[in-house]
Chains A and B, each alone.
Chain A
């Protein structure tokens, strides 16, 4: 076990920021920390890296407790905080050289730093002063800083925030490739990001873990409601009544107007039923052409909202009564 977090509690005075978080990360695993802003992600990461202490609970890195053996534990962690810890008046090379010395790295300096700069693609700006770099480059220099010393565990706090779409894609593939050799824990509130990169997702809400599962399992956790989405041409009131009469359907809703006289509907139906054929026949009978039909459980976004306790989830059995 590379990272083991047990019963972590952090109180700021009367405010409980983290209320008992436990999880583990294996070697070579990418764990996504998912949660809305203020859920306790950064606090948890600050505790894992030893920047903050916990009120209760323990963190061990590769068997070393972060409080009992801080030097051994910290030497195994590369940390990219939410705001990269950059010295703005240094050049990129000076900065990485300082971090190299600070972390007391034993690897051959020139080759090691060269390798890192190539990896995060900052070797062409090595001589530039950090203050003058764009946000994307600053983030990458911060990332490079975490990689110095080749630590087996990487803790990345929202590494893609503020990057442009191309940089985000680059950053994601970089994290993914690093995940082969390192244990990566990274936080985000962007779901698509977490689901494409991570092996496992840990959802944090309000200081508690509300879900901890493999990425492909996370949406099925919440998918006890089945739903079907169809786009149909035709007067919406008659389409609604036709759809409502199909066997197995529990609820039909008109979502949005796609174009003139074309609407999208979402249909809830019983768990063990398959209503697709019935819907086709019923609509065909009324001469309402189906332009699109999509079956699926809850999307990741919806799972996220549900797991983090947002009230805007409407399409689940649990919250059926609380619509709108």
Chain B
């Protein structure tokens, strides 16, 4: 597993993909940081993290698009899957390398906090809120990476994995508002409250909002971890199934 982790993580930086993702994340978060903390009355780093939320749905598919698609296309998966390595080691090695890249992206918020402290006199950093925000951002990103890794295992073409991943990201973004209007519509028709449908509970973004609201609920963390576990498991199944096809 360590060998695969190292190989994948290194490859982010031997081809340009790692730099592109890292650069885009820094550039956009820097822009939001400037906008939120210096150009408006808000002075909250969490607002910066919130803004980045919508970016990662489009950025993270780039991180994992190659993971399995490229291995299959170059037939290097033959080396991985005939080595004395278990499938979960392959999946986890690749997942952790992608997650590590994303963790590095998130480290930038500490830099922004530092910048705020030295440039704005009398600025106080709400550390608790900031940590909750970063935790939420990492967990949400972890979930998005897991589902995109799964997409990469389904195809030989990295571009397809990326496009499907971004489409899914778009769906996650508008899920809440679609759901809201849908439930309202149903309510107006039948005068029944459909809260018992757990549709709002599986919203990917909702649990993030809960996390940064300041009330720590383990259920929100468990939600994301379950999501990650589910898609890593499915990825493993896809790889395993291929040999039975």
Contacts and interface: CB of A to CB of B under 8 A. Distances in A.
Given A51-B243, A88-B74, A89-B14, A74 B82 contact: yes
A89 B66 CA distance: 14
A87 B11 contact: yes
B75 A74 contact: no
Interface stretch (B2-10, B123-131, B210-218): B2-10
B84 A71 contact: yes
A89 B78 CA distance: 17
A23 interface: no
Interface string A223-264: 000000000000000000000000000000000000000000
A85 B11 contact: no
B76 A102 contact: no
B15 A89 contact: yes
B78 A85 contact: yes
A46 B243 CA distance: 9
Contacts of B6: 98, 101
Contacts of B244: 53
A248 B80 CA distance: 61
Given A81-B75, A89-B14, A53 B82 contact: no
A51 B7 CA distance: 21
A103 interface: yes
Contact of B84 (A52, A81, A100, A104): A104
B76 A85 contact: yes
A90 interface: yes
A86 interface: yes
A85 B14 CA distance: 18
A145 B79 CA distance: 9
A79 B79 CA distance: 8
A50 B82 contact: yes
Contacts, number: 69
A102 B85 contact: yes
B117 interface: no
Contacts of A103: 83-85
A101 B89 CA distance: 13
Interface string A76-116: 01010101011111100000001111111000000000000
- Residue with the greatest number of chain B CB neighbours at <10 A, chosen from A71, A74, A85, A90: A85
Interface string A1-30: 000000000001000000000000000000
B245 interface: yes
Interface residues on B, range: 20 to 34
Nearest to A86: B76
A75 interface: yes
B11 A89 contact: yes
B82 A102 contact: no
A83 B82 contact: no
Contacts of B80: 85, 102
A53 B82 CA distance: 12
Given A12-B245, A53-B244, A88-B74, A99 B79 contact: yes
Contact of B76 (A12, A50, A71, A87): A87
B237 interface: no
Interface in B57-105: 74-86
Interface in A33-78: 46, 49-53, 70-72, 74-75, 77
B52 to A, nearest CB: 29
Interface string B104-138: 00000000000000000000000000000000000
Contacts of B3: 98, 100-102, 104
A71 B11 contact: no
Contacts of A81: 75, 78
A36 B194 CA distance: 64
Contacts of B2: 101
Contact of B75 (A75, A77, A83, A101): A83
Interface in B192-236: none
Top 5 closest pairs, chain A to chain B, by CB? A101-B3, A85-B79, A75-B84, A85-B76, A74-B84
Interface of A: 12, 46, 49-53, 70-72, 74-75, 77, 79, 81, 83, 85-90, 98-104, 145
21 contacts: A50-B243, A51-B243, A52-B243, A71-B86, A72-B84, A74-B82, A74-B83, A77-B82, A79-B78, A79-B79, A85-B74, A85-B76, A85-B78, A87-B7, A87-B11, A87-B76, A89-B11, A98-B3, A100-B3, A101-B2, A102-B7
